[in-house]
Amino acid sequence: MMMAYLTSLCLLALTLAPTQALVVTLTSSNFDQYVNGDKFAFVEFYAPWCGHCKRLEPAYEEVGKAFDNSDSVVIGKVDADSEKALGSKFGVRGYPTLKYFPQGSTEPKDYSGGRTAADIIAFVTAQAGVKVQGTKKEISHVVDLNPSNFNDIVLDTNKNVLVEFYAPWCGHCKSLAPVYEEVGAAFSREDECVVAKLDADAHRSTAEKFSISGFPTIKFFPKTNKDGQDYERGRSAADFVKFLNEKCGTHRQLGGELSEEAGVVPDMNGLANRFMSTAVDSRDTILSEAQSLAEGHSEQQAQYYVKVMKKVQDKGDEYVTMERDRLGRILQGDVGGKKVDEITKKRNVLRKFEL
């Protein structure tokens, strides 16, 4: 009888024992315990009634699962509808809002990348410098080259390609691998700026065409020179990103977000400023000037300046702020990939209209 009673108690205890959550529920009472700079932290601020949040939930659980056993990453979530003080503290205005806290810092940065599990996992992996846990295959944004695809990718005159020639046994190559993965993730949405690698030990005949004699050797193959140019700058992720932005004409940051200059057309900025600082009844001349400049402009985004000017004339100066806020709310929703880039570029242009 006593044995049966004890067995029942044990079963009850197992039933009531809390299971470890893959995504940590953060509140005002425990937030500082988890997000204190000791680890890289990625946090979703959500509301239970939010449709976008509900759609994100399964993907976010996958993210939590991927880093469940990590000693250096926290994946958390805050019900900002009930924890209004936390939401207010971090400037949360819409749901879901995703922010990350680099290791060593308690100051958040906005995450504006894709909203799939793969997008977020790749971002956290690159930013935190850790390996993905609990997934069948590690996610990589570095293109694996071989003799079959080398010419199609590297020698494509529509692409600028950075290539690491490496050997699996090379210690320097192993040290560079996580850095190079971070660079690949940063440029994963750039079709014309490719980060790639070739196992030069396994594919010696291909490597010998470019006189590869040591590992790692890094070469850049711009659209206009497929003989390859030696990469001779620093080997931090920031060094590579700066180099590729210069060579490819891109505006990527570490993590893959676009900088505030992405989509901006320098010779249209002055017109935007003049337009907004000129009396309403005298703006037609500036609009005509903008239309003439935008026609046939090498930057397609120049037409968006004209569109904004027309909208302002129709709806008033407040259109600029209202539209930027509207686009910001869309970014908080279920969007990813190139749609994020498109919206970010538009918001950057709208900033040029704000006096």
Q: Is 193 a catalytic residue?
A: no
Q: Is 53 a catalytic residue?
A: yes
Catalytic hit among 10, 170, 193, 248: 170
Contacts of 106 (CB under 8 A, 6+ apart): 35, 36, 37
- Bridge partner list, 79: 46
Beta strands in 27-175 (DSSP E): 40-46, 73-79, 97-101, 109-110, 143-145, 160-166
CA separation for the pair 112, 337 (Å, rounded):
10
Q: Is 248 a catalytic residue?
A: no
- 109-110 and 73-79 beta bridge pairing: unpaired
- Do residues 244 and 252 touch, judged by C-beta distance below 8 A? yes
Catalytic hit among 10, 50, 193, 248: 50
- 97-101 and 109-110 beta bridge pairing: antiparallel
Catalytic hit among 10, 53, 193, 248: 53
- Do residues 108 and 90 touch, judged by C-beta distance below 8 A? yes
Other Cβ atoms closer than 10 A to 114: 21
Q: Is 50 a catalytic residue?
A: yes
Strand, coil or helix: 224: coil
Q: Measuring CA to CA, how many Å separate 230 from each of 38, 114, 163, 225? A: 39, 33, 10, 12
Of 157, 235, 233, the C-alpha closest to 194 is 157
Catalytic hit among 10, 173, 193, 248: 173
Kindly state the tokens that stand for 166.
């490496």
Catalytic residue set: 50, 53, 170, 173
